[in-house]
Amino acid sequence: MTPLWTSEEIAAATGGTASASFSADSVTFDSREVIGGELFVAMRGEQMDGHSFVASAFERGAAGALVSEAVDGPHVRVADGLTALQALGRAARARTDARIVGVTGSVGKTSVKEALRLALSECAPERTHASVKSYNNHTGVPLSLARMPAGSAYGVFEMGMNHAGELSALTRLVRPHVAIVTAIAPAHMEFFDSEEAIADAKGEIFEGLEPGGVAVLPLDSPHFARLRDKAAQHASRILSFGTGKGADVRLTSSADVGAVTALTVAIGEEEEVALTLRQPGAHWIQNALAVLAVAHALGADLAAAGLGIGQMQGLAGRGAQHEIDWPGGRVRLIDESYNANPASMRAALAVLQGAQGEGRKLAILGAMKELGEEGAAMHAALAEPIAEAGAEPVLLVGEEMRPLAERTGAPLVADAEAAEDWLRAELRAGDTVLVKGSNSVRLGRLITSLTEGGR
């Protein structure tokens, strides 16, 4: 196999000096990910210095290291680890002929990125590269670029932000041929004056579009016109997706058929695609429309893309469902523990509302972070979707949830450990429980405990 990087290529890309000749098959800045053959990138952060983990990386089988100080073992020495990683990402982007997609949005970006990976993998098997996990920030994006093989046909990169200006820098690194905004919602409101300001910040993704690039926008969003005006400054073509009349990629029919949802989607005026979704919820219909719009913009095989979308299952922390043995029968966990904002909370509660089963519908809802001055009102406003979902009983986790507790009378606990104690005492065979909250609330630990340890 052709190595991903040689030490000579790394040195040339970063302006560094190689201590010895070596080749690497992957790149990581987390020594725990090393399984053999990786380039380990040591970066200095505010809390940790990656150089402290170089020895561990070599013990685990790293092929070499990218460092800014002397270390034992084959390495390329540079002035600064993060700057060098960004340079390696630029070099990876420059050497490939792959068609590149940039994905952002207040909600749905990781799900759309993963669904795009599956869709495009059906079109170009073993030649589709995508960022992993939620590696979507100033370190994750260049890492994901640096991991892209030169011979890739497609590259899909998630880009996130919580301040204006961040996407502008990331998209110029990625230089996408197609850029999509999945949705605009009140996330990170602590750092923005309004949803319009969030839309403006998300619209920065279009600034990095390659000549001839395509912008893909959600027609159903109240901020569509604002996004369209921004996209028009940079894109040669704008495509819309949605359920509303006039969308370039639009839903024409949907029906629940057993455990799947059958969709028919119109592409322009002359083409139609049929596909099935394994994931429940109206937000997944929007995700599917978004993926087909991107595939259409790329000129990919839409039937094959539809087959790929149909393979999509729930992601850990983002909709994965688990059936667990419990005294007297089984229970179902809906794992939405990775993140939370008002829009994604409503979407998850809608999934709980539609869940089939004879037992109760429980919800453990953790605090939503970074909502700013409107946070108390936004938490309290969850009372309506909770009632619509028929969730009972409900447990709230974190001090930010106090306004909702006062409005609904639902019990409030301080942390995930207390939430697990409550759930183990409350849960009965046949129940379905939704677990959702911002990642910092650590409700994922509850999911792990129950899925790995059971009762």
Binding site members for ATP? 105-111
Query: What is the chain's length?
Result: 455
> Collapsing DSSP states into helix, strand and coil, what is residue 391?
coil
Peptide bond into 393 cis (omega under 30): yes
Q: Do residues 427 and 393 lie in contact, with contact meaning Cβ atoms separated by under 8 Å?
A: no
Give phi and psi for 439, each to the nearest 5: -55, -35
Helices (H), 159-194: 166-174
Using DSSP, state whether 367 is helix, strand or coil: coil
Q: Identify whether the C-beta of residue 96 lies closer than 8 Å to the C-beta of residue 148.
A: yes
Both structure tokens of 308: 């790929």
- DSSP string over 203-227: GGGGGGPPTT-EEEEETTSTTHHHH
Query: How many CA within 13 A on the CB side of residue 18?
Result: 17
Distance CA 433, CA 423 (A): 9
Query: Helices (H) and strands (E) in the chain — how many of each?
Result: 16, 22
Q: Which residue has the tokens 């709230």?
A: 396
Q: Exposure string (b/e) for 351-390, b if CB count within 10 Å is 16 or more?
A: bbbebeeebbbbbbbbbbbbbeeebeebbbbbbebbeebe
The pair of three-digit structure tokens given for residue 73, joined into one six-digit string: 């073992």
Q: Are 451 and 322 in contact (CB under 8 A)?
A: yes
Question: Which residues, in sequence order, are CB contacts of 48 under 8 Å at separation 6+?
Answer: none
Owner of token pair 């523990």: 337
List, edge to edge, every strand of the sheet that includes 26-28.
17-18, 75-77, 64-67, 38-41, 26-28
Q: Extract the tokens encoding 399.
A: 């001090």
Question: Annotated binding site: which residue ranges?
Answer: 105-111
From the list 318, 265, 313, 269, the residue with the least C-alpha distance to 293 is 265
Q: Within 13 Å, how many C-alpha atoms sit on residue 43's CB side?
A: 20
